[in-house]
Amino acid sequence: MSSDEYSIRVNGLGKCYEIYATPRDRLKQFIIPPIQRLVGCEPSSFCREYWALENISFDIRKGEAFGIVGRNGSGKSTLLQLITGTIAPTVGTVETRGRVAALLELGSGFNPEFTGRDNVYLNAMLLGMTHDEVDERFDKIAAFADIGDYLDQPVKTYSSGMLVRLAFAVQVQIEPDILIVDEALAVGDALFQKRCFGRIEKLLSDGVTLLFVSHDQESVRTLTNRAILLKGGREVSMGSASQVLLDYRKLLHQEESDYFSKLMQPAVETGQASASKPADSSASSEAETAPESNESSEKSQAPAVSGRADQMSFGDGGVEVVSVGTFGTDDEPCAVFYPGDVIRIRVNCISHIDTDSINVGVRIRSREGIKIYSWGTLNQDMQILAGLREGELFWKRQLKAGEQFHVWLECDCSLGSNLYEIQASISYEGKPDYTAQRILHWKDEAAFFQTLMRQDEYFFGGISDLHMAARW
């Protein structure tokens, strides 16, 4: 990539902090090592090093949307601060081309004693706008923020949502070349978030480069093309947004499994690993015992399902999704549906252990990666338990080791024309309410189907049919 094609270039970036046990050690570090160097001695160290970020490199093209994901403490905010220049790197370099607008911390750069109006002028002029330019755009800023009379009140009286409204309204009006957003939109209400995402999409269409950090995986998938996954300040994976988010889900699942394993270790050491499930326990404790609480010896022999060559699945193992297919009402395989048809999804499974408390579910995503719908057998069980429908609870079904079984999931086709992906999952549910869940097997791209329109008979636009009717 030539130097004219990129907006952000990060090369070997690292940030190290010195951690001191006491203030006295900080003073010693300031005084003693320089003296030791003067007399030719090896300098002592009174601190320990903490690398918040280490050896990060990537290039972002002009007009590209790039996501950063990872758990809290993974180094996301540190990376953004290094890119914006608010902190200096310990090693490595950062290059940016063009005007940068960054929404990192709520109200950063705002004076709490000034009014919102005063802060608009102050913040915009710090970002490089002239007073006349702010005058020209002030009405647009005020309309976007939509905080009413609070605009002339001190910022210290604002809620967090009002702060981010005003901050975002200023940032997007300076016509940036690079827009950096770090989780700040999460505090806004749904209407404001919609307005923000609409504005971001408009900026992207105008060629603005976006650097986006969020825990909302669907937002990252929808807004960004590429992404990087961080853990402990280091790169775990980088590539297309969909692949990185899959790696992120695997990472979260693995860390959750490790956490539960540590909690279970004392019980294993005292010979209580095979104890029966408690009749009344917290959601977390029930999840910890799943599903080995039924047959711990067989669970230990169950094959793991996270190491498939195609890297499209993960889970603890024990019960496995073998295959998924879509069918018509005649039980014949079908991959094309029209509005009004019945979509029948068959999930074929095998259990490697004796267990119950199982939920078989699917998630349907559009070609653009937007989650359209998720549902499972537990959703139906919850309706039965609430007295809203009749039937047997799948959650209470006793599965035996080696047993093969299948579940039919059916719905009317009310989706717009598109290609859809089916993700399938099997989870152990410690409680029949999704509060104590462990993923036994998750399978991306388990099946695909397409929906089309018979435009001369029945037509609508959008992602879903609302069955609207007209009256006059």
Q: Which CATH class is domain 6-98+177-244?
A: alpha beta
Please give the chain's pLDDT, 472 residues, in tens.
555 688 999 999 999 998 888 888 888 888 888 888 888 888 888 888 889 999 999 999 998 999 999 988 888 888 988 998 888 999 999 999 888 887 766 556 688 888 988 988 888 887 778 888 888 888 888 888 888 888 889 988 888 778 888 888 887 777 788 988 877 666 566 667 777 777 888 888 888 899 988 887 878 888 888 999 999 899 999 998 888 988 888 888 777 767 656 655 554 454 444 444 433 333 333 333 333 434 333 333 444 444 433 466 788 889 999 999 999 988 899 999 998 899 999 999 999 999 999 999 999 988 877 889 999 999 999 999 999 999 999 999 999 999 999 999 999 999 998 889 999 999 999 999 988 888 999 998 899 999 998 878 888 888 899 989 899 9
pLDDT score of 105: 62
Which residues fall within 8 angstroms of residue 217, CB to CB, at 6 or more apart?
69, 245, 248, 249
Q: Which CATH class is domain 289-451?
A: mainly beta
pLDDT score of 295: 38
pLDDT score of 163: 84
pLDDT score of 305: 42
pLDDT score of 1: 53
Same fold, 6-98+177-244 and 289-451: no
Residue with tokens 């280091």: 234
pLDDT score of 187: 59
> Where are the domains positioned within the chain?
6-98+177-244, 289-451
- How far apart are the C-alpha atoms of 36 and 135, rounded to whole Å? 58
- How far apart are the C-alpha atoms of 159 and 153, rounded to whole Å? 12
Burial class (CB in 10 A: 0-12, 13-18, 19+), 391: exposed
- How far apart are the C-alpha atoms of 35 and 423, rounded to whole Å? 64
